[in-house]
A and B are shown apart, each in its own frame.
Chain A
């Protein structure tokens, strides 16, 4: 797989920081905590070629999606509000292949940024769990 170009890395960064933005929730950091381009490159080198190709196609799809909204530019060059609208439209596209490609990039984006130091801890942090009483065990047995 040929390495992602700098422009492809920038497109991927734009798409994934729009899907997973920072600053929305006090505990939950967004995708900008990682070097998205480098992480995606690493992923592309470790998955089968057809998947890497799919990820690359997804990056291009996000990059040029503004054209469908009559914006003659790539994703990083539209304003934040419009960018989110475009990204959401791809993730819920009526065209199955478009939707699947968008979800593929989103899924890998989630895997990449939650793995960064401190992100998981921030998301799962909670007050003590209140346990519900269960009472007697019931039900049929499934190991005789």
Chain B
């Protein structure tokens, strides 16, 4: 039985505490892989001073729980922890945590990457950037759909395959 927990919250999270919780009280965990996504700022991001994240309460949690169930069918997982922050976040802030526990590293690495690729294209979150020139909604990337298609899952979030994304 996989232990999994999905949380959408404004507060920051503690990576070490979450990894420890995945291992707590069990000796069958031989690997924990984690991914932490952060807000980029500075010159490479055209002076982004903040990101504001919005989501679809209720659907978000259900959607991610469905992704965890799919990950559990594909890989031998022992535990999954997903935390996604919402609200206003400044450069350097943590946005998302996906941590996956397994007996062996391969399932942990792949389960973690699969969940991030799935979440990027199918969880109902939206990012708005604040820059010196004003605010703008971030565009979805076709590369993220391609990342999910590598797992054999159709994905047309940013646009249909082979066609540019219509602007919105």
- Chain A complexes with chain B: no
What is the interface of chain A, defined by CB distance below 8 A to chain B? Answer: none
Q: Which residues of B contact A (CB under 8 A)?
A: none
